Chain A
Amino acid sequence: MPDSPAGLRTAGGDVLLMVGTTKGAFLLRSRTGERADAAAWEADGPHFPGEDVYALAFDQRAGRRTLWAAPGSAFFGTTLRRSDDFGATWTGKDERPVRFPEGSDLELKRIWQIHPGRESEPDRLFLGVEPSCLYESTDGGDSWAPVEGFLAHPHRQRWTPGAGGMCMHTILTDPGDADRMLVAISTGGVYRTDDGGWTWPARNVGVRAEFLPDKHPEFGQCVHKVAHHPSRPERLFLQNHWGLYRSDDWGDSWTDVANGVPSDFGFAMAVHPHEADTVYIVPLESDGFRCTPGARLRVYRTRDAGASWKPLERGLPQEDAYETVLRDALDVDSARPAGVYFGTRSGKVYASADDGESWTLLRDGLPPVVCVKAAVVGAA
Chain B
Amino acid sequence: MTQGDAEINVTVTLELPGSLRDLNEGRPTVELRAAPAAASTTPSTVGDALAALRGVRPAVYDRLVTERGEVRTHVNLFVDGEEIRQTGGLGTPLAEDARILVVPAVSGG
Contact = CB atoms under 8 A, between A and B. Distances in A.
Nearest to A105: B68
B21 to A, nearest CB: 12
Given A93-B23, A93-B59, 17 more contacts: A74-B74, A74-B108, A75-B63, A75-B72, A75-B75, A75-B104, A76-B20, A76-B72, A77-B63, A93-B22, A94-B59, A96-B62, A101-B67, A104-B67, A106-B68, A107-B67, A108-B66
Nearest to B22: A93
Contacts of A94: 23, 58-59
Contact of B59 (A95, A101, A108): A95
Interface residues of B, number: 20
A108 B23 contact: no
A99 interface: yes
19 contacts: A50-B19, A74-B108, A75-B63, A75-B104, A75-B105, A76-B19, A76-B20, A76-B72, A77-B66, A93-B59, A94-B59, A95-B59, A100-B67, A101-B67, A102-B67, A107-B67, A107-B70, A108-B66, A108-B67
A267 B58 CA distance: 38
Nearest to B107: A74
B86 to A, nearest CB: 19
Interface residues of A, number: 19
The 5 closest A-B pairs by CB, nearest first: A76-B63, A107-B66, A94-B59, A75-B104, A96-B62
B34 interface: no
Interface string B35-61: 000000000000000000000001100
Contact of B74 (A75, A107, A108): A75
A86 B83 CA distance: 42
Interface of A: 50, 73-77, 93-96, 99-102, 104-108
A51 to B, nearest CB: 10
B93 to A, nearest CB: 25
B95 interface: no
B19, B63, B67, B107 interface centre (most CB from chain A within 10 Å) = B67
B58, B64, B108 interface centre (most CB from chain A within 10 Å) = B108
Interface of B: 19-20, 22-23, 58-59, 62-64, 66-68, 70, 72, 74-75, 104-105, 107-108
A66 B54 CA distance: 30
A67 B44 CA distance: 44
Given A75-B74, A76-B75, A94-B23, A99 B67 contact: yes
Contact of A76 (B64, B68, B107, B108): B64
A100 B108 CA distance: 25
Nearest to B109: A22
A367 to B, nearest CB: 10
A307 to B, nearest CB: 42
Contacts of B23: 93-94
B62 to A, nearest CB: 4
Contacts of B63: 73, 75-77
A96 B107 CA distance: 24
Contacts of A50: 19
B85 to A, nearest CB: 15
A106 B68 CA distance: 7
Contact of A96 (B59, B68, B75): B59
A107 B67 CA distance: 5
A74 B106 CA distance: 10
A261 to B, nearest CB: 32
Contacts of A106: 67-68
A218 B22 CA distance: 48
Contacts of A101: 67
Given A76-B63, A94-B59, A107 B108 contact: no
A96 B23 CA distance: 13
A105 B67 CA distance: 8
Contacts of B108: 74
Nearest to B59: A94
Contacts of B19: 50, 73, 75-76
Nearest to A76: B63
B105 to A, nearest CB: 7
Contacts of A105: 68
A96 B54 CA distance: 13
